[in-house]
Structure 1
């Protein structure tokens, strides 16, 4: 995948923050992960909340942090027909840690909640240029 290669070649030193823009389905679609499907249909937001709950322990164990989960909506400045329901900032200490976290088999077992929840998304790696605080 060219985007993954370009991310690695970017050579971000130190902390990396992933900006997640998420458009959620009205009803979660578990057709790709029926083993995770609840008995009755749930919303995309509920499915994404399940994904966050599944992911937090793996993120913490890798030294990462979920810095922000916020409700989005329509842009103040931007395309009027584009909306993002949730915005997240996920911090990792470096690119290598992020890639290891993303490839953990136990973590991957719960990513079907994310897939079921999301209609569309964007992931933008950010290089931290100023310390927190």
Structure 2
């Protein structure tokens, strides 16, 4: 089973956490070899591109929206196989994105421009994980 988008129950659970303080979102991303634009064919490039390239299009579109929402990328790095974890599992990219609050994150995610850019993210990803973190 792959995980690309939140479910209604995961969104409700996030809201129920009542996180009013800044939150850091841990993103684990696994890219498709070739981006799949079947859900948004009007956005597909003229020639096939990699999932990583499609994610780059998403990042370029989303960066100003993230900044305007008060968010920032704290870390972006290359993933790989686990040191401790399932040997067959790998993540291509890891991101830590800080948001001023879950409310600002949700407003950012519901912005129509972010949702439009999200089609490139969907095309790019084979699987993902998003874990909201707060300081202990």
For normalisation by structure 2, the TM-score amounts to 0.92
Distance, in Å, in 1 between the alignment partners of 2:135 and 2:56 is: 27
How far is 1:107 from its partner?
A: 1.5
Aligned residues: 129
Partner of 2:100: 93
Task: Provide the alpha-carbon RMSD of the alignment.
Answer: 0.8
1:25-72 deviation per Cα after TM superposition (whole angstroms, max 9, x unaligned)? 000001111121111000000000111101001001111101111110
How far is 1:13 from its partner?
A: 2.7
* 1:127 has 2:102 as partner: no
Distance, in Å, in 2 between the alignment partners of 1:36 and 1:88 is: 25
Matching of residues 1-133 of structure 1 within 5 Å = 1-129=8-136
Which ranges of 4 or more aligned residues in structure 1 deviate by more than 4 Å? none
Distance, in Å, in 1 between the alignment partners of 2:108 and 2:84 is: 34
